[in-house]
Amino acid sequence: MTAFILVSGMFTGTHIWQDTVAHLTAAGAEVHTVALTGLDGPRAAAAPRVDLETHIADVLAVIDSVGAAGDRRIVLVGHDYGIHPAVGAADRRAERIERIVYLDSGLPRDGVPALAAVPDQSLRERLAGADGADGADGADGADGVLPPPALDEWSRWGSTAGIPDAALDRLTALAAPQPLGTLLQPLRLTGAVEPVPTTGVLCTGNGTSIELVQMLVRLGDPALRPLTDPRVSFFELPTGHWPMLSCPAELTDVLLRAAAGEGHRLEPVDDTAGPGHLQPFLMDVPDVPRERHGNVDFYLPDAEEPRPAVVFVHGGPVPADARPTPRDWPGLTGYARCVAGDGAVGVLLDHRLHDLGDYERAAADVAAAVELARADPRVDQDRIALWFFSGGGLITADWLDAPPAWLRCLAATYPVLAPLPNWGLSETRLRPARAVANAGDLPVVLTRVGREMPEIAATVEEFLAAAKDCGADVEVIDVPNGHHGFETIDVTDESRAAVRHALRTVLDHAFDGRER
């Protein structure tokens, strides 16, 4: 018999599993829920100094009680924060765990506190300097606890899509303060848990999908390479962050299939061919001079008088140790060389978007690169275009909201144009769909791919709807069969035509009638 052990996330207790337990039991499974100290029942008021080790001990107690029965195949399920005590306990009882299910949760790492996975960026910043629960007393709740969300605040912690109103009311009524020690104490792992098979259940309404994870793996982040191991499987649920409340029957089906070893396997990175973003650009590009100025490269045309410039802004987050860095990626250098070959200065920079919390400093890096370009005597400072890609799309908000007179065009290619629900950036100013109302007559050139990831495509449609409402000047160039990053992975006539169209349109705006 399979025994499921369910570990809940922040602010929640065993009550959230009620419907899932009923469905699993009806299917013949044995089910146990873990009451986490300080979060569940009367102990919540009696244990203000709880830390992650306390919760690991809670999970261990249930594992040991189930393991004593002898023939139970334990599937350990951790939702949200609950994956941290779940993995911590599994590391100490690895021989008893058949599989770990990561239910819309992060990837715990040795030495890293659960705070790193909290989606609320402002909270992470407030607590980052705290030294244990005592260090945060008085700032974020009495006795070292984080107060639970109010009814209208749950979306800061994850998408509430699909949760019935009555269930959301009950979630709020039963929510408990989260002991800060559970978020601030680093997780300690020996490595014993690494061979245990795992399944990730991704809730697409919360901003994550199998396709998105596969794309991140292709970028070459070594930390994600283990996800291509055959022992790792994935499922998707088209719902928000709390599937046990929004679709318990569907969640039950996924958990049973995960226990049986089913699920989607990611494609491993082909080390011989290299990742898609490092494949050659889809068009021949001219050989033009390149100058490197710190984190900024200039690609220079054959011209004596000052020329317009196009500043290219890469996406991300890109790991800080990724090599080559984005300004040496063939897709981006291809664009910059094409621009220089057509008579403008191509400007390509490495900005510091290494984590979702880095958008502010990445935006500052972009602004600094623009000023560096405008100050160069070979650049016509009154004729600048900005071109954003992928996750860099959020930074367009700064330029849409208050476009300077010298900004002749803003381009965006397969952009992310709103923070995804699980990014924890709901309070940020970087929301292009809002900023476009202030764009005035600034020309916007948007390249849209037909095979975009649904969660990103939704942000583009939100932006286009807002642009239509305010009468913004937006031209859409469609690549019906194109994928995210199509310039190096979809080498087709359709893709080439789209890139040529985008280049021609942006340069026409940049030159604005001036001869090239």
Of the residues 205, 226, 259, the one at which a domain ends: 259
Q: DSSP letters along 201-261, please?
A: EEEGGGT--HHHHHHHHHTT-GGGGGGGSTTEEEEEESS-S-HHHH-HHHHHHHHHHHHTT
* pLDDT attached to residue 329: 96
Of the residues 259, 288, 318, the one at which a domain ends: 259
Question: Do 221 and 292 lie in a common domain?
Answer: no
Residue 401 lies in a domain: yes
More reliable by pLDDT, 135 or 56: 56
Of the residues 232, 259, 286, the one at which a domain ends: 259
* Helix, strand, coil distribution of the chain in percent, nearest 5: 45, 20, 40
Residue 101 lies in a domain: yes
Residue 271 lies in a domain: no
Question: Do 251 and 286 lie in a common domain?
Answer: no
Q: Could you give phi then psi for residue 61, rounded to 5 degrees?
A: -60, -40
Question: Do 155 and 121 lie in a common domain?
Answer: yes
Question: Do 222 and 346 lie in a common domain?
Answer: no
Question: Do 288 and 254 lie in a common domain?
Answer: no
Q: Give the pLDDT confidence of 320-375 residue by residue, as tens digits.
A: 888 899 999 999 999 999 999 999 999 999 999 998 889 999 999 999 999 999 99
Q: Which domain holds residue 410?
A: 276-511
Instruction: For residue 199, list its beta bridge partners.
Output: 101, 233
Question: Do 247 and 354 lie in a common domain?
Answer: no
Residue 131 lies in a domain: yes
* pLDDT attached to residue 40: 82
Residue 267 lies in a domain: no
Residue 516 lies in a domain: no
Q: Answer whether 0.75 is exceeded by the pTM.
A: yes
Region 479-492: mean pLDDT is: 95
Question: Do 247 and 281 lie in a common domain?
Answer: no
Question: Do 238 and 282 lie in a common domain?
Answer: no
Under the banding of pLDDT at 50, 70 and 90, the label for residue 131 is: very low
Question: Do 74 and 156 lie in a common domain?
Answer: yes
Q: Which residues contact 511 (CB under 8 A, 6 or more apart)?
A: 308, 343, 344, 383
Residue 266 lies in a domain: no
Under the banding of pLDDT at 50, 70 and 90, the label for residue 121 is: low
Q: Give the pLDDT confidence of 198-248 residue by residue, as tens digits.
A: 999 999 999 889 988 988 887 767 778 899 999 999 999 999 999 999 999
Residue 209 lies in a domain: yes
User: In angstroms, rounded to a whole number, what is the distance separating the alpha carbons of residues 70 and 39?
Assistant: 30
Question: Do 143 and 231 lie in a common domain?
Answer: yes
Region 167-191: mean pLDDT is: 94
Question: Do 229 and 304 lie in a common domain?
Answer: no
Instruction: Indicate which CATH number applies to the domain containing 238.
Output: 3.40.50.1820
User: In angstroms, rounded to a whole number, what is the distance separating the alpha carbons of residues 416 and 14?
Assistant: 36
Total domains present in the chain: 2
Q: Could you give phi then psi for residue 291, rounded to 5 degrees?
A: -120, 140
Q: Give the pLDDT confidence of 369-410 residue by residue, as tens digits.
A: 999 999 999 999 999 999 999 999 999 999 999 999 999 999
Q: Is the C-alpha dihedral spanning 439, 444, 450, 452 positive or negative?
A: negative
Question: Do 300 and 239 lie in a common domain?
Answer: no
Q: Lowest-confidence range among 116-125, 218-227, 418-427? A: 116-125
- Count CB-CB contacts under 10 A for residue 462: 16
Q: Give the pLDDT confidence of 430-464 residue by residue, as tens digits.
A: 999 999 999 999 999 999 999 998 889 999 999 99
